[in-house]
Chain A
Amino acid sequence: MRLSLGDKIMQRTIYILLTLMAVIMLYPFWNALVISFNQGSDTALGGVTLWPRVYTFENYYIVFQDHRLLNSFLITVLRTLSGTALSVFFTALLAYGMSKKTLLYRKQYMVFFMVTMFFSGGLIPTYLLIRSLHMLDTFWVLIIPGIISVYNMIVIRTFFAALPDGLEESAKIDGCGNYGIFFKIVIPVSGPVLATIALFTAVGYWNDWFTGAIYITKDNLLPIQTLLRQIMNSNIMTEIGSSNAIALDHMNRNRTVTTKSLTMATMMIATIPIILTYPFLQKYFVKGVLIGSLKE
């Protein structure tokens, strides 16, 4: 296809704009990474942008000695793994039941679930519920409230409903009940959709800081994102006067690190799982978004 002059100019402009955009997209992340590998006292002189000037591991070395951080990391790993497993299992089980046309009261159940997508009790009634269930300051509050996702249920149900009927017929003849079919036939052929939902859920659990912020007061149960926010807030406090005791202690022992360099290292650690799984995330998320946006 031959392009006219106007088309050529437009295309060039788009290439330039998109390249510029890629730089803007990557820079904040890259700069944080660079600062985390740069000596704190040197960063404080300013001008550290694209490459470390005084290369060092000490930020990570100090951060890894903070048992609070390691504990939060472990809590978050545990939360993400168990939460995702439970959530995918129960949501898929529900979706399988809901995908059966023979299910009595199916329509009523669906309305029951759909209502929750448009109304919710809001922050305070939910908080009071969690409190009256005695879930404040427990590990359970970090996983249980997120277990059933109506949106995910609908996505999985759409997939299950599209499976060929013949698939289940043979199992039925062999005398399998619904549970048998679900575990032996439906789950094995639903790998991609379940993987997509699992990734959505896992990223949600990993990135959630708010649950920790309102329901958890014990240090040893803080998810890493919530801890990170606390660390960052105390840094902002140092700018106006007061300070974080732990960070200050580190700084006094080791004059070359600063709260900023330590925060950047902590942020990078909190992002590692996302970066490691990014190739999968990217692949499955695109699929997931498209399944989810299909209108029934």
Chain B
Amino acid sequence: MKMAEKSRVRHKFRDQLDLQSMVWPGIIFVLIFSYIPMYGVVMAFQQYDIFGGMMKSPWVGLMNFKMFFEAPEFWNVMRNTIVISLLKLLITFPAPILFALMLNEIGNMAFKRFIQTVSYLPYFLSWVIVSGFVFSLLSVDNGTLNYLLERLDLIVEPVNFLAIPKYFWSILVSVNVWKEIGFGSIVYLAAIAGVDPALYEAASIDGASRFKQIYLITLPSIASIIIIFMILAIGNLLSAGFEDILLLATNPVLRPYSDVIDTYVYRVGILNARFSYATAVGLFKAVISVILLVTANKIARRADVSLW
């Protein structure tokens, strides 16, 4: 019986070889470029031998993880990762929602379309270009911000904003809001457009102000979408940023405030070639991220929202 079924499957497989052949290039590709690196993670438990490769590297158990937990940078990196993530969750995350709610109040279609067109633009610029804008605007000599502040007599001397560690978090979060706010609002706008207009009519007959309508009708209607994005954001709590931080914090003075797990992995792994150690740090992050994602999803499930 089992044999018969097996040969039937084999037969069916042979019958649809052309269909299978459409899928196999993709499978082989993902096998090479995603699964081999996934397997490569075992390196985190080895002392990587540059000449011997993974096969000849000795096993060291959890040594690399221990090294990370005991590294002088550990607490600093963890603090920056968590603080920057939370700042992004508190500011960069709700900004597009607020923006979508405001846009929805605009009756003038031409104005609305103009604002949308302008606000999506930064999303399409690379982080390199965006960091170039930031360097230019904040530069000590003749940057617009210093020029403006001097004109307003708020400062006496130009300030080198990108060399003062305590300003870094504010700059990073502001730039992220600038880049993401418009594009992030698209999904929320679509959700808002799907709200039944009869609800608003009923509310305004009852004398509810626009503000009250937003609070009582619009927000609850888009709550499930907000929660889904929130789950994803929580799963990414240890991904505080990479490109943005790498490009904006070029000045090493900022490191006590700018160094996060991902930039640390890049620095020790690629620049210092400590492969096993950097892989261990990356794995530590990946494991915690999955745990966070699953937990957040479980909690959200109580509100009948789930990723899967």
Interface set of A (CB-CB < 8 Å, partner B): 1, 3-4, 6-7, 10-11, 14-15, 17-18, 21-22, 24-29, 31-32, 35, 43-49, 90-91, 93-94, 96-98, 100, 102-104, 109, 112-113, 116, 118-129, 132, 144-145, 147-148, 150, 153, 177-179, 182, 203, 206-210, 214, 225-226, 228-229, 232-233, 235-236, 239, 260, 263-264, 267, 270-271, 274, 278, 281-282, 285-286, 289-290, 293, 295
Closest to A295 in B: B228
Taking a contact as CB atoms under 8 Å apart, the answer to whether A26 and B118 are in contact is yes
Q: How distant is A202 from chain B, measured CB to nearest CB, in Å?
A: 11
Q: Please give 15 more A-B residue pairs, beta carbons under 8 A apart, in addition to A43-B142, A44-B142.
A: A18-B115, A21-B99, A24-B178, A25-B122, A26-B121, A49-B144, A90-B29, A102-B19, A116-B38, A121-B40, A123-B278, A124-B40, A209-B127, A267-B132, A286-B186
Chain B contacts for A96, CB-based, 8 A: 22
A-B complex: 9 closest residue pairs judged by Cβ atoms? A121-B37, A125-B40, A94-B26, A207-B126, A97-B22, A46-B142, A122-B282, A97-B23, A28-B133
- Given the known inter-chain contacts A282-B117, A286-B186, please indicate yes or no for A109 contacting B266, CB distance below 8 A: no
Complex CA gap A214/B278 in Å reads 15
Chain A contacts for B195, CB-based, 8 A: none
Complex CA gap A147/B23 in Å reads 14
B16 CB contact (under 8 Å) in A102, A125, A263: A102
Q: Looking at the complex, which of B66-74, B75-83, B85-93, B102-110 is the stretch in contact with chain A? A: B102-110
- Given the known inter-chain contacts A93-B25, A122-B286, A124-B265, please indicate yes or no for A293 contacting B187, CB distance below 8 A: yes
Chain A contacts for B125, CB-based, 8 A: 29, 207, 271, 274
> Does B283 make an interface contact (CB < 8 A)?
yes
Closest to B207 in A: A4
Q: How distant is B101 from chain A, measured CB to nearest CB, in Å?
A: 9
> Does B7 make an interface contact (CB < 8 A)?
no
Point out which of A35, A122, A226 has the most chain B C-beta atoms below 10 A from its C-beta: A122
- Given the known inter-chain contacts A123-B265, A179-B18, please indicate yes or no for A233 contacting B250, CB distance below 8 A: yes
Chain A contacts for B190, CB-based, 8 A: 290
Q: How distant is B248 from chain A, measured CB to nearest CB, in Å?
A: 11
A124 CB contact (under 8 Å) in B102, B211, B279: B279
- Given the known inter-chain contacts A178-B22, A203-B124, please indicate yes or no for A124 contacting B29, CB distance below 8 A: no
User: Would you list which residues of chain B between 265 and 282 have a CB under 8 Å from chain A?
Assistant: 265-266, 269-270, 275, 278-279, 282
- Given the known inter-chain contacts A104-B16, A207-B125, A274-B125, please indicate yes or no for A120 contacting B22, CB distance below 8 A: no
Chain A contacts for B295, CB-based, 8 A: none
- Given the known inter-chain contacts A207-B126, A271-B129, please indicate yes or no for A120 contacting B37, CB distance below 8 A: yes
Closest to B23 in A: A97
Q: List 27 A-B contacts (CB under 8 A).
A: A6-B211, A7-B210, A10-B105, A10-B210, A22-B118, A25-B118, A25-B121, A31-B144, A46-B141, A94-B26, A97-B23, A123-B269, A124-B40, A125-B36, A125-B39, A125-B43, A126-B33, A128-B37, A129-B37, A148-B26, A178-B22, A214-B270, A225-B126, A232-B132, A236-B251, A271-B125, A285-B183
Q: How distant is A154 from chain B, measured CB to nearest CB, in Å?
A: 12
Closest to B283 in A: A122
Taking a contact as CB atoms under 8 Å apart, the answer to whether B33 and A125 are in contact is no
Complex CA gap A295/B190 in Å reads 14
Interface set of B (CB-CB < 8 Å, partner A): 9, 12-13, 16, 18-20, 22-23, 25-27, 29-30, 32-41, 43, 53-54, 99, 102-103, 105-106, 111, 114-115, 117-122, 124-137, 139-142, 144, 147, 178, 181-183, 186-187, 190, 204, 209-211, 228, 243, 247, 250-251, 262, 265-266, 269-270, 275, 278-279, 282-283, 286, 290, 293
Taking a contact as CB atoms under 8 Å apart, the answer to whether B250 and A278 are in contact is no
B142 CB contact (under 8 Å) in A22, A32, A47, A225: A47
Q: How distant is A182 from chain B, measured CB to nearest CB, in Å?
A: 7
Closest to B133 in A: A28
Chain A contacts for B131, CB-based, 8 A: 229, 232
Complex CA gap A179/B296 in Å reads 43
Closest to A127 in B: B270
Chain A contacts for B250, CB-based, 8 A: 233, 236
Chain B contacts for A7, CB-based, 8 A: 209-211
Chain B contacts for A125, CB-based, 8 A: 36-41, 43, 279
Taking a contact as CB atoms under 8 Å apart, the answer to whether A129 and B265 are in contact is no
Complex CA gap A122/B35 in Å reads 11
Taking a contact as CB atoms under 8 Å apart, the answer to whether B269 and A124 are in contact is yes
Taking a contact as CB atoms under 8 Å apart, the answer to whether A228 and B132 are in contact is yes
Complex CA gap A228/B290 in Å reads 35
Closest to A7 in B: B210
Chain B contacts for A229, CB-based, 8 A: 128, 131, 247
Complex CA gap A46/B265 in Å reads 39
Complex CA gap A278/B116 in Å reads 13
Chain B contacts for A21, CB-based, 8 A: 99, 115, 119, 181
Taking a contact as CB atoms under 8 Å apart, the answer to whether B9 and A104 are in contact is yes
- Given the known inter-chain contacts A44-B142, A233-B250, please indicate yes or no for A22 contacting B115, CB distance below 8 A: yes
Closest to B200 in A: A1
- Given the known inter-chain contacts A25-B121, A232-B131, A236-B135, please indicate yes or no for A123 contacting B126, CB distance below 8 A: no
A282 CB contact (under 8 Å) in B23, B120, B187: B120
Chain B contacts for A1, CB-based, 8 A: 204
Closest to A199 in B: B124
- Given the known inter-chain contacts A118-B293, A179-B18, A282-B117, please indicate yes or no for A104 contacting B12, CB distance below 8 A: yes
Complex CA gap A73/B247 in Å reads 21
Complex CA gap A27/B19 in Å reads 52
